[in-house]
């Protein structure tokens, strides 16, 4: 069974795949390359405040929930230093409850800055990753990526051997820096140490798709499915097969994604894809 958050993600998979191909990253033509690329343009990092992020996000949620958050924010402004940590955590949880990643990420970053630990920095990095991968505001995406990089670097200082932090850092480097191969190198280090690592293989598969290396993407997603046969991995595998012209395999993978998701929004999209592939 999938919870509400997972179902919401599944409905958006089709949209995310479409967006994937508009995010071509220079320097990813050969996944195994080791030299950093210097021709990618660095995106501008803009200053964004927590207040701006919160006010924008509150416009997208229920008025009563927005009022609850505003009340907690007021309490935070009036709180002494020892009381702030608990309020940061409460506000992060409130935003998690309504599935809004960016303000939650900012509060989790504050938690990590206040109570520095490996676990807190990874939580902040993971939430910032979700924020930059799902935001529709392209102007703040580079800032979120840079914050994620800082969070994972902080985690690695406390736990240098962490594959989770290294995977997150590698993903962020590829997603929003002028040297994506630095990130690919990190991800390849992770799969060398842990060949079945789901996160690293998933991201290597997605980056292979972005650079048109669909044969490599197929290999990555097959590895992911061996460990975690979820509808998202099957959908990405199907998309890779489709782009290779392997329509029969694509149809089978799309059907598996539909079966596992059991979600009308995704099912309708998959049915349309399968119909087109059978022509």
Distance in Å from the first CA to the final CA of the chain: 33
CA distances from 171 to 103, 131, 257 (A): 21, 13, 24
CA 198 to chain CA centroid, Å, is 13
Please provide residue 45's backbone torsions phi and psi, each rounded to the nearest 5 degrees: -95, 120
Q: What is the pLDDT of residues 64-110, one digit of tens each?
A: 999 999 999 999 999 999 999 999 999 999 999 999 999 999 999 99
* pLDDT band at residue 43 under the 50/70/90 scheme: low
For residues 177 and 150, the answer to whether their CB atoms sit within 8 Å is no
* pLDDT band at residue 17 under the 50/70/90 scheme: low
Extract the tokens encoding 250.
């694509």
- Residue 13's pLDDT is 53
* pLDDT band at residue 175 under the 50/70/90 scheme: confident
Q: What is the pLDDT of residues 190-231, one digit of tens each?
A: 999 999 999 999 999 999 998 999 999 999 999 999 999 999
Q: What is the pLDDT of residues 235-263, one digit of tens each?
A: 999 999 999 999 999 999 999 999 998 77
Between residues 11 and 218, the one the model is more confident about: 218
Structural domains of the chain ordered from first start:
1-24+211-279 (1.25.40), 43-194 (1.25.40.10)
- Residue 131's pLDDT is 95
For residues 76 and 87, the answer to whether their CB atoms sit within 8 Å is yes
Please provide residue 270's backbone torsions phi and psi, each rounded to the nearest 5 degrees: -60, -40
For residues 69 and 54, the answer to whether their CB atoms sit within 8 Å is yes
Between residues 222 and 32, the one the model is more confident about: 222
- Residue 125's pLDDT is 98
Kindly report the length of the chain.
Answer: 279
Extract the tokens encoding 260.
């596992």
Distance CA 132, CA 140 (A): 8
Q: What percent of the chain has pLDDT over 90?
A: 73
* pLDDT band at residue 46 under the 50/70/90 scheme: confident
The neighbour count for residue 28, using CB atoms within 10 Å, is: 22
* Model confidence, pTM: 0.82
Q: What is the pLDDT of residues 138-155, one digit of tens each?
A: 899 999 999 999 999 999
- Residue 62's pLDDT is 93
- Residue 179's pLDDT is 82
CA 181 to chain CA centroid, Å, is 18
Using alpha carbons only, give the angle 99, 229, 238 rounded to the nearest 5 degrees: 90
CA distances from 67 to 70, 98, 101, 185 (A): 5, 13, 18, 45
């Amino acid at each position: 069974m999938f919870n509400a958050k997972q179902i919401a993600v599944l409905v958006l998979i089709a949209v995310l795949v479409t967006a994937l191909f508009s995010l071509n990253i220079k320097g990813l033509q050969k996944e195994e390359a080791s030299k950093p690329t210097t021709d990618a343009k660095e995106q501008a990092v803009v200053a964004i405040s927590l207040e701006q992020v919160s006010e924008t996000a509150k416009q997208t949620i229920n008025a009563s929930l927005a009022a609850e958050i505003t009340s907690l924010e007021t309490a935070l402004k009036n709180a002494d230093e020892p009381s702030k940590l608990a309020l940061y955590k409460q506000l992060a949880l409130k935003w998690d409850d309504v599935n809004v990643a960016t303000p939650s990420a900012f509060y989790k970053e504050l938690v990590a800055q206040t109570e520095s630990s490996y676990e807190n920095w990874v939580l902040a990095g993971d939430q910032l990753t979700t924020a930059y991968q799902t935001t529709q505001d392209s102007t703040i995406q580079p800032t979120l990526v840079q914050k994620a990089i800082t969070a994972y670097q902080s985690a690695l200082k406390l736990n240098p051997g962490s594959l989770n932090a290294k995977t997150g850092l590698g993903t962020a480097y590829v997603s929003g820096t002028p040297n994506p191969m630095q990130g690919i190198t990190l991800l390849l280090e992770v799969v060398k140490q842990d060949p079945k690592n789901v996160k690293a293989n998933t991201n290597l598969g997605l980056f292979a798709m972005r650079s048109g290396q669909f044969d490599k993407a197929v290999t990555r997603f097959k590895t992911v499915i061996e460990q975690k046969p979820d509808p998202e991995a099957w959908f990405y595998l199907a998309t890779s097969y489709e782009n290779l012209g392997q329509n029969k395999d694509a149809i089978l993978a799309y059907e598996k994604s539909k079966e596992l998701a059991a979600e009308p929004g995704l099912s309708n999209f998959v049915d349309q894809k399968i119909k087109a592939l059978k022509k």
